[in-house]
Amino acid sequence: MRIARINFIFLLALLGLQTYAQAMTTPEQGNSGVTEALLDNTDADEEAAAARPNDGQPASPDNADSGDAIDAASGSLDDSAGSIEAGRETRGWNFKGDLRVRYSRTDTDNRDATDQSSSEWRGRFRAGGSYSITEKLIVGGRLAGTCSTDECNPGLVLDGTLPNRSSINDGDITVDELYIHSFRREKFDVAIGRLQTKFVSRAGVFAKSLDRNDSNNTNVNWTDGVHGILHVNNDWTGHLILQKNQADGTGNIRRDPIDFNDDGSRITYFLAWEKMRRFGPVNQQGFDITYMPRSLMKDGSRNGRIKDYTGFVGRFASSWPEGSTGPRLNIAGEIGYAPETPTRSAVGLAGNGDTDGLAWLVSASMVDFRPGHSVGINYGRTDAGWLLSPQYRENEEALEVRYVWRRSRNLALDVRGRWRKELEQLENTTRKQEELDVFARFTLGFGH
């Protein structure tokens, strides 16, 4: 591993972007003098809407105070809000977009005992909007495209499935949102069409998920289907997602040997129950179930046994001091379990029987240790039978350190170092695969 070179990249990223940001407008501060760090879901327009009396539009689902809202945010810009959550605050025309540019370098110890290094510039641009046709009816849409040093020849592609394991191909432009969103007073929302769905542990500098987080990092992916939300007593929120799959795949990340060729696998069912109101230091509690009928190739091929795949996930997030908008410690975690998993031979592991289906992660972040500056550490571990996470590969452990500088509501810098290693060595290989990667990422949001 080329540790010295990676440290040099970190230094260049920090110095270069710090110089750039000094030329930017000074961030706004509240009465406490704290910057708008990590406010993914709580910009000024949303706070104003939450403060208004009910005008026929749905109120904030949590009715949380500003401290709760800050602690509930996660990640960098637009990393934790899905289509249906963002749409609740639409009034008239609403145009928004973002540009994200990332430089990454990866050093890999391959399974065949060779070593390799690679680096890449990659960008993602998204632009779209929504319009409230009536008080209780919204339409929305968005175009998204990616470009990299390997491929940057723009072309419009309209498809219902991802062409590769994690995103659209570099150079492609596609529709990643196109939906109609209906309200039923304050209690019930339903959105139908192409959506962004996100269920993440919402605390600190990370927006991590074991099961559902569309378009994380610079990826472009989506959920085709229906998303309904039921708000219960401004406290607990229930979610039901029915996702359409096609024979050759689906719109978000699902890992082999998940397969949708069987006619019975065309719908994925997702049910979640989440509480975002603060209870002591805890500001998020959640539980969800993913059920994918006839989608698991138990033996690794379509000619073998085809089983239902089910994943259960529990998550929480907390922060100390309670309700603070200054420096604070955020702790978050998730645990998942899949009772039915592929055989060991199906995923290339030695031995008999099935793979294990346990997965878990934990994150700790020091938020606003200086105004606008936050740092965090994350560890995740996913057995070979856990096939749902968009951010953690199966049969792997990962340790990540991340720094986030949130200059303003629409400008953020992330710098990350991550180590990943396979938990079990694959058959007929010399060693476990191991990676050390680093990125510097700049995100600029625009619109209103």
User: How does pLDDT run across 87-116, given as a tens digit for each residue?
Assistant: 666 678 889 999 999 999 999 999 999 999
Q: For residues 60 and 52, is the Cβ–Cβ distance under 8 A?
A: no
Q: Which residues contact 355 (CB under 8 A, 6 or more apart)?
A: 341, 342, 343, 344, 346, 347, 349, 383, 384, 385, 395
The owner of tokens 């610079």 is 218
pLDDT for 76: 74
pLDDT number for residue 75: 74
Domains and CATH numbers, the chain: 3-447 (2.40.160.10)
pLDDT along the chain (448 residues), means of 10: 38 37 37 31 32 33 39 65 74 89 97 96 95 89 95 90 91 96 83 95 89 95 96 86 96 95 97 89 94 98 97 95 81 97 97 97 95 95 98 97 91 96 97 98 90
**Cα(403)–Cα(17) distance, integer angstroms:** 13
The pLDDT of residue 324 is: 63
pLDDT digit string, tens, across residues 179-198: 999 977 678 899 999 999 99
Torsion angles phi and psi, residue 325, rounded to 5: -110, 5
Complete DSSP assignment for 367-417: EEEETTEEEEEEEEEE-TT----SSS-SSEEEEEEEEEEEEETTEEEEEEE
Query: DSSP per residue over 323-336, as a string?
Result: T-SSSEEEEEEEEE
DSSP 245: -
pLDDT score for 88: 65
| pLDDT at res. 5 | 39
